Amino acid sequence: MIAINARTLLPVVSLVLLLGAVFYLQPRAMSYFGINLLFNLAVPIALATIAQMMIIMVNDIDLSVGTFVSFAACVTASFVHDTPVLGYAILAGAVVVYAGLGALIQLRQLPAIVVTLGMSFVWGGLAVLILPSPGGSSPDWLRGLMTSKPPVLPMAIVASLLIAVVTHVVIMRSAFGVLLRGVGGNARTVVRSGWSVVWLKASAYGLAGLFGVLSGMTLVGLTTSADANIALRYTLLSIAGVILGGGEFTGGRVSPIGAVIGALTLTLAGSFLSFLRLSPDWQIGAQGAILILVLAARLVISRGPST
């Protein structure tokens, strides 16, 4: 029980230690404006991480998250801004396609890593067709929402907390969430209970598509424009966020709250290094180093009781 508690707290400790280091080096960041600056892109990254978590939860992995978020951003900055009905229809259709991929992967027993890698080129190509060059504009309501200033805590923190709570209730506290996690944990038991694994996997992929669309939309709300490469890094960041937050690649073991905290930690690492005007190459290296350190600490904790 001690190991489980420590493992649960590990993502929180990682975030607190990094935030403490930031405040120590830059005391001026300890303010509403400073926190908002540090976590500016936390919401789209957190949503992309939750999207990846839905796929990892059913023992798959999605290599198209980054290009899909870019595609959703391009649709939002162009069609949703100019012709809202058509734009929302395209995004809804993309979610349906995502759900269909989940069903196809299960029905044909296809390797998800190969299918999603192929789809990454499809989403990337569609994004280029929609916006061959950076441009477009954010819908006014979306821009207003993402730049709003709630009292006490910045919008990035408030929205991240909301994402964590909602996904925790859906995945960890509902019967539907138990079934989805059961697909990753013991699919045979789910089948014996009379449930269709194909339908459940399609549902998991559909939820991933929904959160991917929301990630792209919120990203446009923050940047006010889009391009076909705007979120390519989100694929690796989303995987890292899930694992950093206590998730596993197998067994249906995920933590929605931990995933959001993992996304916040990676966002903080990148924002802090940008704030120090360091090269983006160093930002990627720092995020990787944080992930390695947390995984090493998790390994030590898991082996602790047996030593």
Nearest to 98 by CA among 74, 127, 69, 128: 69
Residue type, 160: S
Cα first-last separation, the chain: 15
Residue 3 lies in a domain: no
Nearest to 203 by CA among 181, 186, 172: 181
* pLDDT exceeds cutoff 90 at 204: yes
Residue 5 lies in a domain: no
What pLDDT was estimated at residue 3?
Answer: 42
Write the burial class of residue 279 (CB in 10 Å: 0-12 exposed, 13-18 middle, 19+ buried).
exposed
Q: In the numeric block, which tokens belong to residue 98?
A: 């995502």
If one counts every other C-beta atom within 10 angstroms of the C-beta of residue 288, the result is 14
Rg of the chain over CA atoms, in angstroms? 19
Residues making up the chain, counted from first to last: 307
Residue 204 lies in a domain: yes
**Main-chain phi, psi angles of 224, to 5 degrees:** 70, 0
Percent of the chain whose predicted confidence (pLDDT) is above 70: 91
- Domain containing 251: what range? 15-297
Residue 303 lies in a domain: no
If one counts every other C-beta atom within 10 angstroms of the C-beta of residue 28, the result is 8
Residue 165 lies in a domain: yes
Predicted confidence band of residue 306 (pLDDT cuts 50, 70, 90):
very low
The dihedral through the CA atoms of 257, 261, 264, 270 has a sign that is: negative
In whole angstroms, how far apart are CA 284 and each of 155, 198, 278, 280, 290? Answer: 25, 37, 11, 6, 10
Residue 302 lies in a domain: no
* Separation CA 58–CA 49 (nearest Å): 15
Number of domains in the chain: 1
What pLDDT was estimated at residue 56?
Answer: 95
Note the pTM of the prediction, 2 decimals: 0.93
* Separation CA 43–CA 157 (nearest Å): 8
What pLDDT was estimated at residue 305?
Answer: 53
Residue 238 lies in a domain: yes
Residue type, 231: A
Whether the Cβ atoms of residue 30 and residue 87 lie closer than 8 Å to each other:
no
**Main-chain phi, psi angles of 261, to 5 degrees:** -65, -40
Mean pLDDT taken over the chain: 89
* Residue that wins the pLDDT comparison between 304 and 17: 17
Whether the Cβ atoms of residue 220 and residue 73 lie closer than 8 Å to each other:
yes
* Separation CA 172–CA 186 (nearest Å): 16
* Residue that wins the pLDDT comparison between 81 and 283: 81
Mapped onto helix, strand or coil, the DSSP state of residue 246 is coil
Tell me the pLDDT tens digit for each residue of 50-83. 999 999 999 999 999 999 999 999 999 999 999 9
Name the H helices within 224-279. 234-244, 256-275
Residue 10 lies in a domain: no
